[in-house]
Structure 1
Amino acid sequence: MTLIRLADTRRTETPSGVMTTLASPSQGGAGLALWRVEMQPDIQGPVHLIDAEQIWTFLAGEATIELDGEKLPLAEGDTVILPADATRQVTAGPHGFTAIVTAPAGAQASTPGGTGKVIPPWIA
């Protein structure tokens, strides 16, 4: 059993938002990654792909996820399962949002037409 206290979580800030790693291979040795995403109002994340399925549950606020060209409006209490290798972009609503996200450990991100993949620090 591994216990990860709030004080031991890892916070990563990007221009799009703040990801707080709750569990991952380097944060408790988990085989899955679990993190909280917080985005300020009307912020738009980058267009990207993840090579693994992700599950997002929205705890507060609202957002739109554009997934392979389809816009999915999401609000507090909604859960969405994003398939692997689908092009996505997350846009926060007028009040921002907080969500909990999970994906397999080691999931890699890339950009459409990009040549390389990286493991985001909140998944590592």
Structure 2
Amino acid sequence: MPLVRHADARRTTTPNATMTTHASPTQGATTRLAVWSVEMTPGAAGPEHAFDVEQVWTVLDGRATARVDGTDHDLGPGDALVLPAGVPRRIHAVEPFRAVVAAPAGARATPVDGEPVLPPWIA
């Protein structure tokens, strides 16, 4: 069984958040599953986008608002948010926010006015 030590986890920082890949096909996983955490500072917000797969976000710490298909959802510790494939979403951190996310590896994100991309934390 592969072990990915915290010190060896892949970290990707964008202007909105830091994603830490805990497992993916390029980092220890032998299945098509990716698991990563997201850390956001208060006021940070990701771009509006949609993924081509379902994602499950579980909030560890903090508070955020998730706009999913035009509807706002307040998120707090212990909440799980199931984001359907193809639905526009945007996460906005109200206070320091941390969540763990699981989704099929290789998923593509499509910004509202852009082309699909493979985020490095899912590869």
For Structure 1 versus Structure 2, the TM-score category normalised by the shorter chain is over 0.9
Query: Runs of 4 or more off by more than 2 Å in structure 1?
Result: none
**C-alpha distance after superposition, 1:9-35 (max 9, x if no partner):** 000000001000000111113420000
Letter of the aligned partner of 2:122 in structure 1?
Answer: I
CA shift at 1:7, angstroms? 1.4
CA distance in 2 between partners of 1:112 and 1:41 (Å): 23
CA distance in 1 between partners of 2:56 and 2:3 (Å): 22
Number of aligned positions between the proteins? 122
Aligned equivalent of 1:48: 49
CA shift at 1:96, angstroms? 1.8
- TM-score w.r.t. the length of structure 2 is 0.95
Q: Helix, strand or coil for the counterpart of 1:122? A: helix
- TM-score w.r.t. the length of structure 1 is 0.95
CA RMSD of aligned residues (A): 0.9
Letter of the aligned partner of 1:26 in structure 2?
Answer: T
Aligned equivalent of 1:18: 18
Identity of aligned residues (%): 52
Q: Helix, strand or coil for the counterpart of 1:12? A: strand
Unaligned runs of 5+ in 2: none
CA distance in 1 between partners of 2:29 and 2:96 (Å): 31
Map 1:52-67 onto structure 2 (within 5 A): 52-67=53-68
Unaligned runs of 5+ in 1: none
CA distance in 1 between partners of 2:2 and 2:85 (Å): 28
